[in-house]
Structure 1
Amino acid sequence: MDFKEYIVDKAPPSAFYIPDFITVEEEQHLIHQVYAAPKPKWKELSHRRLQNWGGLPHPRGMVAEHIPAWLQHHMDSIAELGAFGDKQPNHVLVNEYLAGQGIMPHVDGPMFYPTITTISLSGHTLLDLYTPRPPDTQETPNTNSQDTETHTSSAFEKRYVGSLFLAPRSLLILQDDAYTTYLHGITEVGEDVVSRDILNLPSIPHIPGDTVQRDTRISLTIRHVPKVLKNKVWLGGSRH
């Protein structure tokens, strides 16, 4: 498969959307494994909860941890597409969004190789894209692994570019300006009305005017963290 054949022409460069990247059976297996994870693996945030696999990214470097086979299989599949060039993905951020939950617009920042790949499970969402602010008021890139929310939603209304409809079992790849420059976020609503603001409209099973109820959605955000610590050390200082 050449993922570049799935480019979203109307989106900022470069966004690629592959529907049905995984099968229904693979989706169900992944959902089962996510919820079978030990309770301490979950981190509760105000608008969602998440799991880190592969380590906890940090500006000083990530202490690498074992990634289970149920995730590694799909990481390898994405790597085979060439999405990360000659790099191999080494980190997965699992987010659970209940209906009505979302995340404020943000950029992922320099801790990651400038490509983000996301598999959606169970429910759909709209990923909203926004232009950056002028250089003198540029947003500070996110420098932690939890995709910190920044600013208020009202500040972004005039900078809205459009949305990407992410259906269950789809794969989204963002590179170039779509990763480094444009912000992405998810509005906290319980349903979405399909409109022509959806940049990948020809690739989704809905038409303008459809109302689509949100359900619990699990996202697997698969990335490459370039800076990995070779030895397990305390990030807060030396270990004695």
Structure 2
Amino acid sequence: MTFFKEFRVNKAPAAAYYIPEFITTEEETHLLHEIYAAPKPKWKELARRRLQNWGGLPHPKGMVAEPIPSWLEQQIEKIDALNVFGEKRPNHILVNEYLPGQGIMPHVDGPMFYPTITTISLGSQSVLEFYTPLNSDEETERTRRIGSLLLEARSLLILQEDLYTFYLHGISEVTQDTLSQDIFNIEQCTPKLDNVIKRGTRISLTIRHVPRVLKAHLMFGRGRK
């Protein structure tokens, strides 16, 4: 299935696809319930947000695969049906919680993952900013910024090609978003230009494929003859 290509964001560099209402409100409520019902040790506290890893902990040397619960497998199956990972199947989900005013520094996801990002947003909208790489100390985030994408609750975002390998992406630490002409997908969204939207708590499900997976017995030296 490649119907997702109908949702190409034409104003963005190659390549972004944005599908509003990818999941239902019932699915959103169920996912949020399960995320917050997870055992406390599942959460990892960072300086500006907290997160959960499902499927294993990605590492340059390889990921030791862990079981993924059925409530997340349902979303993996939906993503897998889009064929955005080619013949690969998603095997890792990163859950990020962003409170109003929280964000993430500009970054690239790098070679540990298949070069595709799929992200489902829950609870609240956010704006994902894009930047060119830093070439000199005189450059700032403002001068490097090329535009952004509005991520509405229940939407799916797919990033591939240059938007995965070349441009950096990040979320500004603000409590509200002002919708302007430089939002690449504004015409595909419900809110329109010049609207100011307050952020609530947003949960993102970043669903990816980790190519290098280790067997647990190899990682820990078990099962040797």
TM-score, length-normalised on structure 2?
Answer: 0.94
Distance 1:44 1:10 in 2: 36
Which SS does the other structure have where 2:194 is aligned? coil
Q: Is 1:60 the equivalent of 2:61?
A: yes
Q: Equivalences for 1:78-97 in 2 at 5 Å?
A: 78-97=79-98
Distance 2:122 2:217 in 1: 33
Distance 1:231 1:169 in 2: 35
Alignment match, 2:157: 172
Distance 1:50 1:131 in 2: 26
The alpha carbon displacement at 1:133 in A equals 3.1
Distance 1:129 1:233 in 2: 39
TM-score, length-normalised on structure 1?
Answer: 0.89
Aligned amino acid, residue 11 of structure 1? A
Distance 1:233 1:12 in 2: 41
Which SS does the other structure have where 1:81 is aligned? coil
Alignment match, 1:146: none
Q: What are the superposed Cα offsets for residues 14-49 of structure 1, whole Å, 9 maximum, x if unpaired?
A: 100000000000000000000000000000000000
Unpaired segments ≥5 residues, structure 2: none
Query: 2:64, 2:219 within 8 Å by CA — same for their partners in 1?
Result: no
Distance 1:232 1:133 in 2: 41
Alignment match, 1:188: 173
Unpaired segments ≥5 residues, structure 1: 138-150
Q: Is 1:201 the equivalent of 2:202?
A: no
The alpha carbon displacement at 1:131 in A equals 1.4
Alignment match, 2:146: 161
Distance 2:10 2:44 in 1: 36
Distance 2:141 2:4 in 1: 30
Alignment match, 1:221: 206
Alignment match, 2:114: 113
Query: 1:53, 1:93 within 8 Å by CA — same for their partners in 2?
Result: yes
Query: 1:63, 1:232 within 8 Å by CA — same for their partners in 2?
Result: no
Query: 1:13, 1:175 within 8 Å by CA — same for their partners in 2?
Result: yes
Note the aligned Cα RMSD (angstroms).
1.7
Aligned amino acid, residue 24 of structure 1? T
Q: Is 1:23 the equivalent of 2:24?
A: yes
The alpha carbon displacement at 1:234 in A equals 4.7
Identity %: 62
